[in-house]
Structure 1
Amino acid sequence: MFSKERHREILVYLNKHERVTVNQLAILFYVSKETIRNDLNILAKQGFVQRCHGGAIILRRVFHTQLVNDFGTSIVKVLNQVNMQRKITRKRKIKIMKNKVCILGSFNVDIIAKVDRFPKSGESILASNTIIGPGGKGANQAMAASKCQVQVHFVGKVGKDHFSQMARDHLSSSDISSFTLYQDEEYKTGSAIIYVSQPAGENMIAIHSGANQHITESEVSSIASEMADAKIFLTQLENNFEATHKALMMASQLGAKTILNPAPYSARTIECLPWVDYLTPNETEASMMSGIEVNDIDSAKKAAQAIRAIGAKDIIITMGSQGALIYEGSKFTHIPALKALSVDTTGAGDAFNGAFAAAIAQEQSLISAAKFASAFASLAVEREGASSMPEYQNVLSRLAQYERK
């Protein structure tokens, strides 16, 4: 395709969608991101679009008055050309397009303090190091899924502060295929204060949700097309409950399989269960949800049965060093944990959920998906930072350990 033809089709796409990312256009036209950036810069100089970080926004008045005159082609004809190109692109990318995962979730700025031990009440201790970086359950899970050979669309909300740029830079430079990042006029970007105890890699976290708690129902409705294209929809509870509940309901009605990671736990989780195909609590969340203290496999089985009784379908309880317990139908399966040299367990649950979503999107069985996710998480805890995820080939190598058990 000649550059002038591609410019025309970019404008037609923008006329329909108003905004677009470099990643989306690179996939649509099967060219490099650098080529798309150059295309958008040319269109911006011509007055057709306004460049924004990671993409562009249409200047509607210019588009409507000048597009046909400048390019001499009817909108209908151009749309047909775009659709033809999409069909070609889908054939080339059919495996990835088929396995799309849509994730609604939080973006936080993580402020991490490395300590020798957790402080006691009223005690001040010295940290050996501090790190500021991207985090949030939603963004972390999207990062994990993006490492697993599936297409990922992430949806989140940040404030209009300097941390919002960190979010855009982080998502744009990642393997995440595309993202929708809303901005709140009033509330700040979410943040998390994290203590990591170095001897065991264990953590304590305090979260300020900020803009994450203010996604609107209309913003959720606006991502319906992304849900409709997805095989799997994954979410957590770091966004406001109303938006999360509506998103699960929409995704289920649009035909996607849904996964809810009920963290941080809310008593209202039960309201979501009719729309959830896979529920993934950890020991603490399973205990709170069932009223049964989970400390071993037997107590986890009792908790899973209690959770099923209140409306859950398939349940996967993650139990750290004790592995994961699956309750599928009437059958229990215990997935043992793989040995790992823990450096930072902060993102272990996020690593598991993102990888699990990707494996289910690839049509793996529930047990195979849980094994893959466990192997993925075992490598993630060996890395520093909640958003630092392992590479796919390394996970396959670690996964082979299950075959040797």
Structure 2
Amino acid sequence: MSHILVIGSANADHVMNFEYLPVPGQTLKSRSYRLEHGGKGANQAVACARLCLPDSRVDFICHLGQDSIGNEMRDSWLKDGIQAEGITLVDNVSTGTAMIFVADNGENAIGIAAGANAHLTPLELEKHYALFANAQYLLIQLETPTETVSNALQMAKRLGITTVLNPAPAATQELDYLKWVDIITPNETEAEALTGIEVKHEEDAKLAAQWLHQQGITTVVITLGSKGAFISSPGFTGLIPALTVQAIDTVAAGDTFNGALVVGLSEGMSIAAAVSFANAASAITVTREGAQRAIPYRSEVSR
């Protein structure tokens, strides 16, 4: 039985669509509005839960507000098979919130209120030591406090857990935690933010991967959008092409990729096979609108 531990953010995403983005002082009527369950940590935990085999376990350490949307999100995750122990409802604070304006040309403007996410501190991690002790893989991102990310990676390494960092949102400083990362999964923008190397093509990805290896990271997977994903690892180096689909919404594509990658690795797939599995899962996600509701189930990817 594989056991995956995800740590990260959970947000209520309020999404409005406009012909164009409003300028300062301007009020526009939106074409549409929807409320999505989001947050990179939550999206990745949902992907793990939907894509893993029935005898696997997925835990998600996160903080929600003691409010209606927090309870709603928690209930939906439990239905997907995420275990309840790591999910904490915090009194007198709101669930993390993102206000997302999207223009017809694809441009967007996003404002985030961390809310309960900011209360996920290193001290809170200690309360969940048992979840660490039984996990095989840790998947974490950068939407929670940096000291929490660093502590989680250190704790996992001490316990012999394979650590997977999705360095999103892009980080340009406080990179000491990289020395506790086994596998890193930046996209082109994040790879450039980390390494200073502009990543446009496979050759650029190779250079960026070399820099990341020098920080002590064994396996580098750089996602290159429609081109696929570049792997640099002891067992395989090369590009795994993406599947060709008609994309309508890429919101949770990267999160689906990360969840699927860790599921594949936890089941003993080679890094190349796990990336192929992740490419297939994320290809389905981009053909659907939304965040967590767009993430596929294992049976869909298998088909």
When normalised by structure 1's length, the TM-score is 0.69
The separation in 2 between residues aligned to 1:249 and 1:383, in whole angstroms, is 37
1:195–1:379 Cα change, 3 Å: farther
SS at match of 2:16: strand
CA contact (8 A) 2:21 2:102 kept: no
Residues 265 and 199 (structure 1 numbering): CA distance in 2 closer, same or farther, change over 3 Å? closer
Moved more, 154-163 or 226-235: 154-163
Does the CA contact (< 8 Å) of 1:140 and 1:386 recur in 2?
yes
Measure the CA separation in 2 of the matches of 1:167 and 1:147: 15
- Asked which structure has the greater RCO (Cα within 8 Å, sep 6+), the reply is 2
Give 1 or 2: higher helix fraction: 1
Give the structure 2 partner of residue 103 of structure 1. Answer: 6
SS in 2 for 1:173: helix
C-alpha change, 1:297 and 1:277, in structure 2 (3 Å) is same
Aligned alpha-carbon RMSD (Å):
2.1
Q: How does 1:197-212 map to 2 (within 5 A)?
A: 205-212=110-117
Distance 2:219 2:170 in 1: 18
| Equivalent position SS for 1:182 | strand
Alpha-carbon deviation of 1:175? 2.8
What are the equivalent positions in structure 2 for 1:1-80 lying under 5 Å apart? none
Q: Secondary structure at the match of 2:34?
A: strand
Tell me the secondary structure at the aligned position of residue 295 of structure 1.
Answer: coil
Matched, 1:119 2:24: no
Code of the aligned partner of 2:161: A
Specify the structure having the higher radius of gyration (Cα): 1
| Match for residue 209 of structure 2 among 289, 304, 318 | 304
Q: CA deviation at 1:376?
A: 0.3
Q: Answer whether contact 1:203 1:346 (CA < 8 A) is retained.
A: no
Contact 1:106–1:137 under 8 Å retained in 2: yes
Provide the C-alpha distance between the structure 1 equivalents of 2:102 and 2:108, rounded to a whole number of angstroms.
Answer: 4
Residues 81-110 of structure 1 deviation map (CA, whole Å, 9 limit, x = unaligned): xxxxxxxxxxxxxxxxx2111111111001
CA deviations 1:39-89 (Å, max 9, x no partner) are xxxxxxxxxxxxxxxxxxxxxxxxxxxxxxxxxxxxxxxxxxxxxxxxxxx
Deviation string 1:297-319 (CA, Å, 9 cap, x unpaired) is 22222222222223322111111
Separation of aligned partners in 2, 1:197 and 1:383: 18
- Supply the distance in 2 between the matched residues of 1:374 and 1:220 (Cα, whole angstroms): 31
Give the direction of change, closer, same or farther, for the CA distance of 1:375–1:233 in structure 2 (3 Å limit): same
How many Å apart are 1:342 and its aligned residue? 1.3
Give the aligned partner of residue 135 of structure 1.
38
Instruction: Report the Cα offset of residue 373 of structure 1.
Output: 0.5
1:171 to 55, 61, 77: 77
1 CA distance for matches of 2:206 and 2:186? 13
Distance 2:97 2:227 in 1: 30
- Give the whole-Å Cα distance in 2 for the aligned partners of 1:157 and 1:297: 38
Gaps of 5+ in 1: 1-97, 398-405
Residue in 2 aligned with 1:35? none
- Closer/same/farther in 2, CA of residues 385 and 253 from structure 1, 3 Å limit: same
2:67 maps to: 161
What residue identity is the alignment partner of 2:21?
Answer: P
Aligned partners of 2:11 and 2:95 also within 8 Å: yes
Indicate if the aligned counterparts of 1:248 and 1:275 stay in contact, CA closer than 8 A.
yes
Q: Which amino acid aligns with 1:119?
A: L
Aligned to 2:189: 284
Which of 180, 198, 201 is the aligned partner of 1:275? 180
The corresponding residue for 1:385 is: 290
Specify whether residues 284 and 128 from structure 1 end up closer, same or farther in structure 2 by C-alpha distance, changes over 3 A only: same
Within 5 A, what are the aligned runs for 1:203-282?
A: 205-268=110-173, 270-282=175-187
SS class of match (2:64): strand
Mapped contact 1:113–1:196 kept (Cα < 8 A): yes
Whether 1:316 and 2:256 are equivalent positions in the alignment is no
Consecutive unaligned residues of structure 2, counting only runs of 5 or more, are none
Provide the C-alpha distance between the structure 1 equivalents of 2:163 and 2:123, rounded to a whole number of angstroms.
20
Distance 2:102 2:285 in 1: 15
The one-letter code matched in structure 2 to 1:294 is: V
Q: Which residue of 1 aligns with 2:48?
A: 145
Other-structure match for 1:8? none
Residues in 2 aligned to 1:352 and 1:334: alpha-carbon distance in whole angstroms:
15
Q: Distance in 2 between matches of 1:310 and 1:128?
A: 46
SS in 2 for 1:267: coil
Cα drift, residue 179 of structure 1: 4.2
Rounded to whole Å, the distance in 2 between the matches of 1:332 and 1:393 is 29
